[in-house]
Structure 1
Amino acid sequence: MAERTAVVVGGGIGGLAAAVALHRRGWGVAVLERAGEFAEVGAGLSLWPNAMRALAALDLAERVRVLGAVETAGGVRGRTGRWLSKMDNAEIVGRHGWPLLVVHRADLVRTLVGALPAESLRPGCEVHAMHPDGEAVVVEHRDGILRADLVVGADGVRSAMRRQWWPHAKGPRYVGYTGWRMITEPLADLRPEGAVIWGRGERIGFTSLPGGRFYCFATATVPEDAASDDGEHAAVRRRFGDWPDPIPTLLAAVPEDAVLRHDVYDLPPLPTYVRDRMALLGDAAHAMDPILGQGACQALEDAVTLAACLDETPNLGAALAHYDRLRRPRTQAIVRRAARLGTVAQWSWPPAVLLRDLAATLTPATATLRSMASVLGWVPPDGAC
C-alpha cells in the first residue's frame, strides 16, 4: 500500500501536533511554516487534563510534564486582592487524573518538533495557493509544488487556507479588548498562589513557571489596534502597577522588551471544518477568547482526533466527515462559553462588577469544577492511543 501523504500548513502547536500524530501512523508529512524557524516567543500556556490526554496519545505527556510547573492552588481575586474563588489542583487531579500544568510555549513547540523527522520540517516556506487535482491536492509554495492526499490548515486565526476555501465564512471578530503576555525574570523568594485579578474592564493574572519565573497575562477593554505610544511595557505598568501584591513585584521583573500585545479575536462558527481533501484545526477553525486556557488544548485535541479518524477508514471523505462531527460541535460550544465568561470578566459598570464578584464568592469551587467536567473530561477517540 502506498504511503499516504499530508501537507500541514502552519507550524504552531496544532499543526505540529497533527504532523506528529500522522507521522506516527505512517503518513509522510511536510509541515510548511512561513516563519524562518519553528518557534514560539515569550509566553506561557495552560495544559489542562484534556490536553495532557492528547499529549499522552502522542507519547509526549511525560516529556512535557517535566518541562512545566504545577500550581498547587489558584483562583480569582477581586480588585482589592480579596479571594473570590479558589481551586485546589489536587481536586483537578482527583477528578481528571492529570494536574493543570503551565509550560512555556517554546518548550512545547520544541518537544513537538523533536518528535518529527527533520525532513518533515520546512521553515521559511510560505504557501501561495492550493487546488484539488484528482485524488490529491496540489500545494504551491515558495520553493515549488507538493502533491498530497490531505492538506491540514493550521495557519491561525487569519488562516489564508480558510479564506481561500471557505470564502463565504465570516472573518475573525474583535472581542472588545486587547491582551498582554509576558514572562518575568527569576524571582527566587516569591511563592504566591496563581491568580487572576478581576477589575473593571481590566484583569491581570499570573502563574508560576519552572526556574522561579512567572507567566503573566492581562487584558483591557480598548479600541482595536490601539497600540501604546510609549511601548507596551510602560502601558502595562501604567495600568496595573498599583494593583494588589504581587502584581507590582512581578511587573518590575519583566524585561522591557518582553511584553507581547495582541488584540483578542474569536471566530464566528464555520458550517464545516472540512472540504474535499482539506481540514482545518486549531485557531484556523475555532479561535476563541483565551480566558478558559483552552486554545492550545483544543488544538491538541483536534490533532489527535483527526489522526484517529483517518486511521479508522481508508475512505478519506468519510474520515474527514467523522472528524468534523466530533470536533465542530465541541469546539464551537467552548468558543461560546469562553466568549460569555470573557464578557463577564471584562464588565466595567460598577453594579454589574459588584454582582459578578458576589456571584463568584458564593459559587463553591466544586461547582466550578463540575461545570468544567465536559471540557476537561475529554478522552481521545478509540484508536488514538
Structure 2
Amino acid sequence: MRILVIGGGVGGLSAALALRKAGAEVTVYEAHPASGDDIGAFLTLATNGMIALAQVDAARPVADAGFPLTSMRVTGTDGAALATVPLGRHDEPLARYRCLRRAELCAALRAEVLGRGIPVRHGRRLVSVDEGADEVVARFADGDGAAGDLLVAADGLNSATRAVVDPDCGPPRYAGQRVFYGYTTTAFGEPERIEMIRGSAVAFGHAVSPEGETYWFARVAGAALTALELAGGSPEAWREHLLPLLRPDATVAADIVAATGERLMATNASDLPPGGRWRTARTLLIGDAAHAASPATGQGASMAMEDAVVLAKALRDAPSTEAALEAYERLRRPRVELNTATSARLTASRAPARRPGTGPAGVPDEEVVRTLDWSTPL
C-alpha cells in the first residue's frame, strides 16, 4: 500500500513509523521548507503516548530527548500542598511521563523516520486532493503532486485537508483560555515532579529539567488574543500581563514568571467540536486535524501517537481499506472525543489535569494497552 502522510509534525511522523512497520510504502509531505530549530513550547508525553511509541520502537530515543516526571503535586493559593501522587508507570523507565520541547520531540521522531528510509518532503503545502476509484492524488502549492492508495492527514489544528474531508466544518473554536509558556534558567521545584498550582486567577504548572531550567505554563481565562496581539506581543508584555494575576497568591508562580527572560510565548487554547467527519474513501484525518483538544489534559501528542498505532494495526489486520478505516474510527472516536470534552471542562474550571487520588495518576486502562499492543489483533 502506498500511503501519503500530510504533515511532518508529531502525528505525521508517528504515523509514518507505524505505517511502515505495518508494511506500507510511506512518504511524508511537510508544508514548511525546513524542519526548523525554534525553541517552541514544551509538552508532556503521558504513559499512553510512551506505550504507543514503544510499539513502533521509538520510545527510547524520545525518552532520551526529554526528562521524566514521576509525581505530581497540587498546591493551593496559599502555597500549601493539597496532594502529591505518583504519575503514570513511574517504575518503568520507558513508560514514564516525559517532558520535552515540541521541537525536540519532532527531531527525535524525524531521525527515526529518516533512519528507517522513509522520505520526508519539505516545502510541500497541500492545496487540493483528488480521489479516484483506484488512487488519491495530493496537489501541492509548488506545482508538485503525489499519488497513493491512501492519504493520511496529520496537518494539525489548522488542517488544509479538513475542508476536503468535511466541507461543512467550521474553524477551530476558542476554548476560553490564553496559554503562556516559558523557561527560566533557575530551578523552582524538585526534579521529576510536575507542580500544579490552583491559582485564584491562573492555572499554573511547572517542572524542573536536569539542567536546572524551569519549564512552566499558565492558563488564563479571558477573551482570545487577537492576531495582532499575538504577532506584536513581547515577553515583557506577557510578563506585565501575568504578574498582577499571580502576585496575590502565596505561591512561587509570580517568582517564576518574573525570572523568565526572552523565552516566553503566548497562544490561544483552541479545540474542534466533536462529531466532525474524519474520512472519505481514501483520505483520513488523524491527530489534531481530526480531534484537537485544548491543552488542559496534556494529551494532544499522546493521542496522536495512539492514532498512529491503531491506524497501522487496522490496515494490517482488516480485509480492506474501507474496513480498516471503519474499525479505526469505531475504536478512536469515543476515546478522543472524551478527551476533548474532559479538556474543555478542565479549561473552564482551571483545575489541574488529573485530580488527586490515592493511586497513580495517568495510568491507561487494560483495554487501551491491549488496543495499542502491536502483537494483539484489533
TM-score relative to the length of structure 2 = 0.86
What is the CA–CA distance in structure 2 between the aligned matches of 1:194 and 1:376, rounded to whole Å?
27
1:215 corresponds in structure 2 to: 215
Secondary structure class of the residue paired with 1:167: coil
CA contact (8 A) 2:29 2:124 kept: yes
1:11 corresponds in structure 2 to: 8
Taking the TM superposition and a 5 Å limit, the aligned residue runs for 1:1-385 are 4-39=1-36, 41-89=39-87, 92-93=89-90, 98-117=95-114, 120-141=119-140, 142-185=142-185, 187=186, 191=190, 193-226=193-226, 227=229, 231-240=234-243, 242=247, 244-256=250-262, 258-345=263-350, 365-366=357-358, 369=361, 373-374=364-365, 378-381=369-372, 383=374
CA drift of 1:340 comes to 1.2
CA contact (8 A) 2:188 2:256 kept: no
CA deviations over 1:69-112 (Å, ceiling 9, x no partner): 223432222222222232123x7436998322212222211111
What is the CA–CA distance in structure 1 between the aligned matches of 2:83 and 2:366, rounded to whole Å?
19
Shift in alpha-carbon separation, 1:264–1:28, aligned structure 2, 3 A: same
Q: Which amino acid aligns with 2:205?
A: G
Structure 2: runs of 5 or more not aligned: none
What is the CA–CA distance in structure 1 between the aligned matches of 2:95 and 2:372, rounded to whole Å?
18
Shift in alpha-carbon separation, 1:255–1:35, aligned structure 2, 3 A: farther
Identity of counterpart residues, as a percentage?
Answer: 31
CA contact (8 A) 1:5 1:29 kept: yes
CA deviations over 1:39-87 (Å, ceiling 9, x no partner): 4642221111101110100101122222222234322222222222321
Shift in alpha-carbon separation, 1:303–1:200, aligned structure 2, 3 A: same
What is the CA–CA distance in structure 1 between the aligned matches of 2:110 and 2:122, rounded to whole Å?
11
Secondary structure class of the residue paired with 1:365: coil
CA contact (8 A) 1:33 1:126 kept: yes
Cα root mean square deviation, aligned: 2.9
Shift in alpha-carbon separation, 1:72–1:262, aligned structure 2, 3 A: same
CA deviations over 1:243-284 (Å, ceiling 9, x no partner): 54533443344332x222111111111344221111111111
* More off after superposition, 238-247 vs 299-308: 238-247
Structure 1: runs of 5 or more not aligned: 347-355
Q: Which amino acid aligns with 1:291?
A: A
Q: Which amino acid aligns with 1:365?
A: G
CA drift of 1:310 comes to 0.7
TM-score relative to the length of structure 1 = 0.85
CA deviations over 1:220-245 (Å, ceiling 9, x no partner): 11212342776244323542363545
Shift in alpha-carbon separation, 1:377–1:30, aligned structure 2, 3 A: closer
Shift in alpha-carbon separation, 1:308–1:41, aligned structure 2, 3 A: farther
Q: Which amino acid aligns with 1:366?
A: T
CA drift of 1:147 comes to 0.4
CA drift of 1:201 comes to 3.9
Secondary structure class of the residue paired with 1:369: coil
